Amino acid sequence: MMKKLTIYPAFIAILLGTGATLAGCQSQPDKVKVTVKTKTVTKKNHDDLDAAKQLEAKNKKTSAKLDKLKKDVAAAKKQLEAKKDAAKHAPAASAAATSQSNGGASSLAKLNYSGTQEITVNGNNPGFTASELSTARGAWESYGNLDSLNRVTVANALLGRKLMPTSERTALTWDPTGWHNKRTAHGWLFNRSHLIGFQLSGENNNPKNLMTGTQTLNTPLMLAHEDDIAAYLKENSRHLVRYQVRPIFRGNELVARGVQMRAQSIGDNTIRFNVYIFNVEAGYTIDYSTGYSHR
């Protein structure tokens, strides 16, 4: 005989509650998964956003550096052009130099700096003779012997592309006469200045080609003329330039008062100049007898 099962409403409620609870437990893992997934995506998005911000900041810094570099280069070019223009329009100083002959080293040595660092000589006419412009030997270079005081004397060349270096320049070790260098706000007071620039001749640590020259004598003034010649030679393998650079000393002084640079391109006047550059540096007084200096 089967017993009658009595189910009370409260018990049904408990069972229903348990079922609801079980249902809730069964669905909970899905919610946890969704929550974890959402957090993972959110973290990845944050990481990507941080990386993007860092890249943007880096790009801004790089752009700022490039802009500054462009401005510095533009300022340097403007300064160089101003110096070139000043040299061309310096009537008093230029007239004094122009009255000297091409071979007048003693006359150039008497000139005193009066505010214009580069002046023209002989109306900017290099004044080479026909024999000095001969191309019979092809490109060549020659360096005068050091004098009795161990000073550099003169450098001559018929510059051509074949003389130009094909390897990097090595460090300079030769100390020319009067070499007493010191630091300045822009680097160094003196450079070991090549009479004929390395980019034109490949001559580097040659005592017969090095003098004690101020930074502005070497760069930008001498360099500006050297760059013009280098550009001309690179245009055509047949281009040649007759060139002479001579340091100008006063008496037995160990540091040159300046350099005379003469150049003439063969067959045309693309390169043609005769200039004298004073070996001075703004803000410094140089004892040319010894090479020592003070502000």
pLDDT tens for residues 34-91?
A: 444 445 555 566 666 777 677 777 667 666 666 665 666 566 556 556 555 544 444 3
The terminus-to-terminus CA distance of the chain in angstroms comes to 128
Residue 98 has pLDDT above 50, yes or no: no
Q: 18-22 long-range contacts, Cβ below 8 Å, gap at least 24?
A: none
**How many other CB atoms are there within 10 angstroms of residue 221's CB atom?**
24
Q: pTM of the entire structure?
A: 0.68
d(CA 109, CA 246): 12
Q: Is 166 helix (H, G, I), strand (E, B) or coil?
A: coil
Look at residue 71 in the predicted model and tell me its pLDDT: 65
Token pair, residue 97, equals 């130099």
Look at residue 57 in the predicted model and tell me its pLDDT: 74
Token pair, residue 129, equals 């003779």
Look at residue 21 in the predicted model and tell me its pLDDT: 43
d(CA 226, CA 14): 102
Look at residue 46 in the predicted model and tell me its pLDDT: 66
Look at residue 22 in the predicted model and tell me its pLDDT: 41
d(CA 269, CA 79): 26
User: What residues are paired with 194 via a beta bridge?
Assistant: 210
d(CA 163, CA 129): 23
Place of tokens 């003070």: 294
CB 205 within 8 A of CB 172: yes
CB 252 within 8 A of CB 210: no
Residue 247 has pLDDT above 90, yes or no: yes
Q: Which helix (H) or strand (E) holds 159?
A: strand 155-160
The class level of CATH for 90-294 reads alpha beta
Domain boundaries, the chain: 90-294
Confidence of residue 94 (pLDDT cuts 50, 70, 90): very low
Question: Considering the chain, what is the average pLDDT of its residues?
Answer: 82
